[in-house]
Structure 1
């Protein structure tokens, strides 16, 4: 079956992803919709499969071992037998640099994980429809030439017939041209058309120093929640309603476009002043903050907007769009529902974070991580009861980096999972070494768990293997979780915690009182301790005032039959108040800062 005859509901699709779950979800969903699906787990096999029997379309993951998706795409485009195959990238990478690179190596589309199957199917149908239509045009042209040659002697008929191929051809071309440059759902210009308009705007800037334009990059703040709660049909209607709002708030000369998903852009041309762009952004935020009525549904969406102004400093449209995207993410970081104007500091910070992410990916294998240990003391006796293991990164160029500067990146990229496993392994191993060296089994090591680790289906098995490898008894390991992590998945979390407790591992709630907790749920969690956040301990003064919240948490803990542990103890009067209130354990600079394992051993020598 050639491309012109292709029925895209039964097309042959090659899915390339090193994650079995992704392969299973995609292949199952596509097969159910009538597609023929083949799957491969790495780039090399994908190239062999595509060359041997070229598919109609390839869904390609980016982050794969040995050969990433970018290289696979480049190899496909270099081979004449596979260069025509449309490639749609599927990736958890959501940075504008990654998207731009995907299109630069030959990708026709870019879908960010986690994806919605309906969106993937629509994108596939769109690309297959384009392929089929292009082939149809090619055949129509061939047919036209053949008929002209065959009917040379019947000139009048030839002319009439030719006029009728031409009309159809133009209609088809016009339709394809529109489809290729507009979003199928909203009818707005798509990325391709928007970039064309943006390129023309940059040319105007070079010709006229007084010409001013701006790009607004708009990302909806709560679209995923609404889409998941109300369903995709409502989500689509919302996107259409949003497109109308954006057009109403802009001017005739402006270009409103939908880039992908819930991302929109507006090119504001021929501005009189920078304040004009700010006024439009403020008007948009006001409209998008108000409730949007979709029949019987009333939804609240909100948006974050990045603003960048065109200048002769921009050499390409990609640079301009990149900076608008950076400004949008800055607006989100500042609390959403606002706009941010791009400046050089944002770009420098983005570059810094990008480089930090790259370095972080190699830090584990290069053994650049280390643990510091902060002593935990019995309030009643003043004796050492354990250590909290705290991660540090010994960067080869930037020196010792605290987790506050890289943990968020690790969370976003998923690197926190292998890093978290390393922390558990290292902490348990170190405590076991100390147990043998100092002949003590009463001390425990406390380790923070991330939300990503809690979501791992094999967490319980991993914990068991770590205890088995290190020889540490589960009773000497305490895992710290936040209130939000406990409440996120309700019953599933309770079941998981009980499975962990079966290994005698202790559990505590970290920073208690600062997050969302439900007292009706609290007694159901098999928790051994509540850790009082430093923000409640710090206000305690020399007269013992400002300790009401601390007293309440200690009372709550003891009512539940568990310990209360205070963090951030820095003064003797804070310790005295905690002792009076019956707090069980404490940690903070008053007892000692986090130290490396050599200095931790010196503390052990004085306490065992």
Structure 2
């Protein structure tokens, strides 16, 4: 049974906790006060003792030096009566235990008594020798006496001395009395302190009890009444009478607000239901309402010859808008997309079409008019064309597009769940096929999805199992025909499936996020093997270029990872070239520029891969700090047949060279392609005509041969 704590119980519990904390603090204060009392008492005793010690020494020195002055003449003339009178006048109180006057031989002259016992006798007590021999004021002590002796002189001649004995027991008795008075005063002060603490604790308890009573009457009871009324409203009883309150505090405002709320709940019930079925941003039907409508329509169509089509439209690269321009720009893009989709549905979808936003950047359209396959095709073609047009967001043009998957009832499935699943699969296949297009669902897509999932599972751990390896495709310098470097390429040799094309498994790794684990391994392996490639006779070292995934670039830690690999392998930074795709760099120029600047500071070079296939590549070369561009193989393939490709390649080379950027052509498979690139000043080339990808050892052997 779950324990339920009401407001009053919580308040009392809170007060109890506060009181416990206060009591603990008071106990701590008392404990600390006791410690302070003991420390103060010890310090006071030490101080009093030191004061008594200082007083004894100062008093003894003062008396001895005073007597040494006033006894000079009486001692010189042996005036015993005057000496006795002086000694008796200075021996007042119990502190001075004895006063002794002696001559230069250490014989007693006077002791302040009338009998002068021992007159003329040499003093033989333990302190006598030191007093007789002292040329200046001397302090000595025994367990009972602190003695201060001073020589008596007439002029410069020493004629004797005086010994002043101060009683240590008398001084300690005085010290004890003062210590006891100090301790009594401190104990009285501590007692008053404890009484004040006890009084404060009692007052706190009283305040807590009064606060509990006040809370019960002014807060708990009214809130319990409100809770009872709220439970009735929860049960559907909207006829709850107003509580009414004349209070002017916050609780009175709460009661009156509750009254207003209970009156408006019924009135807003219909509006709330409507809101539950509408997307807040676009005003379109949401997932819940669409699913209910789809279930109703499928139920009505069962047993008839009518068909129905679902179109799943997902915006391509929408995350890039949120990441680069912010979520407000993302909302603006969604609003513009929803408006365009709504217009297309009204024009091509028919009167019974239903448009909904499923959340995020996914829209679903239901088409039920006439030949639904033809209608869905027309609508999909219109949507692809319409959504490909640029969006104007925050004074800039954004190109996105949409991928659309289409599924049919009852051809593909008969239930709403299966149709929605099929539409999602078809939309995913449209993205895989290159985005900005549409695909109809087919049974084969299920197998394709299963194969992709299976491939993802197999790819996990493939590096650890030794199935993944790195090969190197040489890069040749056109000016002298020498091999100056190589591009590191990843290969997968599966034990059951055989060799898997990089275009297949790299996409799986990118989509699943596994590339973030595999990419650093490839970079480390390439650096480790490249550091063993010997430099040429002229000292030029071969470089290795490594492809970097857009996911790795977006993480933001690429410079740190590269620096760590260079540090661990010892490869010079100038021998490492990183290849980034053009689209990954220009998708967020600010972040990319900052990362590339950090890479440049280490000496690493950066190339743009697949150059010419992005948005407006040449214009970005001025803003993104890169060292080289790799002309995409699609341009190189038709250099000798397509004048446009040749002209574009020539323009890229000229533009790059004007900016001081190296140009690399990939996919060179024919000698005529190589010659055309050499004529136009292309700096580096690679391709099957020069060499297929080879192992690190084979590439090292190729370098050792000095192949041109």
- Which residue among 191, 199, 213 is the counterpart of 2:287? 191
8 Å CA contact 2:476–2:485 kept in 1: the answer is: yes
Q: How does 1:264-303 map to 2 (within 5 A)?
A: 264-269=363-368, 274-278=373-377
Corresponding residue for residue 308 of structure 2: 213
Deviation of the 1:463 alpha carbon: 1.0
Q: How does 1:391-406 map to 2 (within 5 A)?
A: 391-406=490-505
Q: Normalized against structure 2, the TM-score is what?
A: 0.53
Deviation of the 1:551 alpha carbon: 4.9
Corresponding residue for residue 472 of structure 1: 571
- Which residue among 509, 513, 526 is the counterpart of 1:414? 513
Q: How does 1:411-560 map to 2 (within 5 A)?
A: 411-435=510-534, 442-516=541-615, 522=621, 527-541=626-640, 550-560=649-659
- Which residue among 456, 471, 478 is the counterpart of 1:379? 478
1:348-379 CA distances to partner (integer Å, 9 max, x unpaired)? 33333333334334434544321111112233
8 Å CA contact 2:535–2:541 kept in 1: the answer is: no
Corresponding residue for residue 594 of structure 1: 693
1:149-184 CA distances to partner (integer Å, 9 max, x unpaired)? xxxxxxxxxxxxxxxxxx999878766655554445
**Rounded Cα–Cα distance in structure 1 between residues aligned with 2:336 and 2:472:** 51
- Which residue among 456, 462, 466 is the counterpart of 1:363? 462
Deviation of the 1:487 alpha carbon: 3.6
8 Å CA contact 1:305–1:328 kept in 2: the answer is: yes
Q: Normalized against structure 1, the TM-score is what?
A: 0.60
Quickly say closer, same or farther: Cα 1:530–1:243, change in 2 above 3 A: closer
Quickly say closer, same or farther: Cα 1:473–1:237, change in 2 above 3 A: closer
SS of residue paired to 2:580: strand
SS of residue paired to 2:602: coil
Worse overlay, 262-271 or 393-402: 262-271
Q: Does 1:585 align with 2:667?
A: no
Corresponding residue for residue 152 of structure 2: none
Quickly say closer, same or farther: Cα 1:279–1:442, change in 2 above 3 A: closer
Corresponding residue for residue 182 of structure 2: none
SS of residue paired to 1:460: helix
1:36-95 CA distances to partner (integer Å, 9 max, x unpaired)? xxxxxxxxxxxxxxxxxxxxxxxxxxxxxxxxxxxxxxxxxxxxxxxxxxxxxxxxxxxx
Q: How does 1:10-409 map to 2 (within 5 A)?
A: 139-140=232-233, 178-184=274-280, 189-204=285-300, 207-208=302-303, 210-219=305-314, 225=321, 231=329, 241=339, 245=343, 248=346, 255-269=354-368, 274-278=373-377, 304-311=403-410, 314=413, 316-331=415-430, 339-409=438-508
Deviation of the 1:238 alpha carbon: 5.0
Quickly say closer, same or farther: Cα 1:191–1:456, change in 2 above 3 A: closer
Quickly say closer, same or farther: Cα 1:136–1:321, change in 2 above 3 A: farther
Worse overlay, 320-329 or 503-512: 503-512
Unaligned runs of 5+ in 1: 6-134, 148-166
Corresponding residue for residue 46 of structure 1: none
Corresponding residue for residue 85 of structure 1: none
Deviation of the 1:334 alpha carbon: 6.0
1:221-272 CA distances to partner (integer Å, 9 max, x unpaired)? 6977599597577568658756864884556655543322343334445856
Deviation of the 1:332 alpha carbon: 5.2
Corresponding residue for residue 37 of structure 1: none
SS of residue paired to 1:363: coil
Deviation of the 1:418 alpha carbon: 2.6
8 Å CA contact 1:374–1:587 kept in 2: the answer is: yes
Quickly say closer, same or farther: Cα 1:516–1:439, change in 2 above 3 A: same
Deviation of the 1:519 alpha carbon: 5.3
Quickly say closer, same or farther: Cα 1:299–1:488, change in 2 above 3 A: closer
Quickly say closer, same or farther: Cα 1:439–1:351, change in 2 above 3 A: farther
SS of residue paired to 1:498: helix
Quickly say closer, same or farther: Cα 1:552–1:213, change in 2 above 3 A: closer
Worse overlay, 517-526 or 488-497: 517-526
**Rounded Cα–Cα distance in structure 2 between residues aligned with 1:435 and 1:548:** 39
**Rounded Cα–Cα distance in structure 2 between residues aligned with 1:446 and 1:181:** 53
**Rounded Cα–Cα distance in structure 1 between residues aligned with 2:386 and 2:683:** 53
Query: Which structure has the bigger radius of gyration?
Result: 2
8 Å CA contact 2:628–2:663 kept in 1: the answer is: yes
**Rounded Cα–Cα distance in structure 1 between residues aligned with 2:672 and 2:425:** 47
Quickly say closer, same or farther: Cα 1:361–1:558, change in 2 above 3 A: same
8 Å CA contact 1:220–1:262 kept in 2: the answer is: yes
**Rounded Cα–Cα distance in structure 1 between residues aligned with 2:694 and 2:361:** 46
Quickly say closer, same or farther: Cα 1:335–1:493, change in 2 above 3 A: closer
Corresponding residue for residue 62 of structure 1: none
Worse overlay, 170-179 or 447-456: 170-179
Deviation of the 1:469 alpha carbon: 0.9
User: CA-atom RMSD, angstroms?
Assistant: 5.0
**Rounded Cα–Cα distance in structure 1 between residues aligned with 2:600 and 2:400:** 41
Deviation of the 1:185 alpha carbon: 5.2
Quickly say closer, same or farther: Cα 1:586–1:234, change in 2 above 3 A: closer
Unaligned runs of 5+ in 2: 7-227, 241-262
Quickly say closer, same or farther: Cα 1:349–1:471, change in 2 above 3 A: same
8 Å CA contact 2:369–2:375 kept in 1: the answer is: no
Quickly say closer, same or farther: Cα 1:489–1:534, change in 2 above 3 A: same
